[in-house]
Structure 1
Amino acid sequence: MSYELTGKLIAKYDTVQRTETFKTREFAVEKIDDVQGRSIVNYAKFQCVQDKTAILDKVNIGDDIKVYFNIKGSKWEKDGKTNYITNLDAWRIEQLLAPNTGNNNNAADTFEPMDNFTAEDDKDDLPF
């Protein structure tokens, strides 16, 4: 099952090579919710794995983003003690664009996918 969270990118870390064949990269998002007139601030730390570590390259600290992620959990036992570990595995990030200030009839934020594709990109010079 996939989840999503919208907030501000407040930290991103270097890629860490965990083993010869496995790498991760972490980042943190600040999410502010308005609850009965009060602003509640929450922080979520995500990780990207393998080829998804590169999705952070296109966003900057302070950007408003939408993160798509899966929740992964594992059980770890050592010396008769059991521990449970939960990870938020991000697999896509969209940069949120500010509303167009020159056009007052658009009050909602718009989403800009990181992998942009426009109609102009679809044109080719083939005669058929």
Structure 2
Amino acid sequence: MEVQGKIKMIDETKTYGSNGFQKREMVVTTEEQYPQHILIEFTQDKTSMLDPFKVGQNVKVSVNLRGREWINPQGEAKYFLSLNGWRIENLDQAASQDMPPMPPEDAFEPANDLNEEDHDDLPF
């Protein structure tokens, strides 16, 4: 599953518990009629994947849905859903790499001998 949009927030890496569990969160805002602010978690060794990214960049994030059950002290079951990121791609950089470089302006010569009547190749 993928989430595509603009980075709204990237949090710092946080460590939890005695075993050193690491988690880093980011928010991606989708670009649609009703934009959604999607919280995505990166855990353990994936937290460093966010280092090169900045707020405002357009990205595509590959995620897995993760659901879990928690029994509270009163014995009631509570359910939680999270999106775990496992890959992130910079769409701004990808778009600029697809475009060939533009030659400098002085590489073009003006068309001085253009006569519209001679170059009319329309079939009608």
- Please give the TM-score of this superposition, normalised by the length of structure 1: 0.70
In structure 2, which of residues 41, 45, 59 is the aligned counterpart of residue 47 of structure 1?
Answer: 41
**Structure 2 CA distance, aligned partners of 1:14 and 1:52?**
13
* Alignment match, 2:76: 81
**Deviations 1:13-44, CA, capped at 9 Å, x for gaps:** 011101233110000000022xxxxx211110
**Structure 2 CA distance, aligned partners of 1:51 and 1:41?**
30
In the alignment, structure 1 residue 17 sits paired with structure 2 residue 11: no
Greater gyration radius: 2
* Alignment match, 1:62: 56
- Count of residues in correspondence between the two structures: 96
**Structure 2 CA distance, aligned partners of 1:10 and 1:101?**
30
* Alignment match, 1:109: none
* Percent identity of equivalent pairs: 30
**Deviations 1:69-125, CA, capped at 9 Å, x for gaps:** 10000000111211101110001100002454967xxxxxxxxxxxxxxxxxxxxxx
* Alignment match, 2:85: 90
Q: Which amino acid aligns with 2:25?
A: E
Mapping of 1:27-46 within 5 angstroms?
27-33=26-32, 39-46=33-40
**Structure 2 CA distance, aligned partners of 1:102 and 1:21?**
47
Q: What is the aligned-residue RMSD (CA, Å)?
A: 1.6
More strand by share: 1
Secondary structure of 2:45's partner?
A: helix
**Structure 2 CA distance, aligned partners of 1:40 and 1:85?**
24
Secondary structure of 1:32's partner?
A: coil
* Alignment match, 1:72: 66
**Structure 2 CA distance, aligned partners of 1:21 and 1:40?**
38
Gaps of 5+ in 2: 103-124
**Structure 2 CA distance, aligned partners of 1:43 and 1:55?**
20
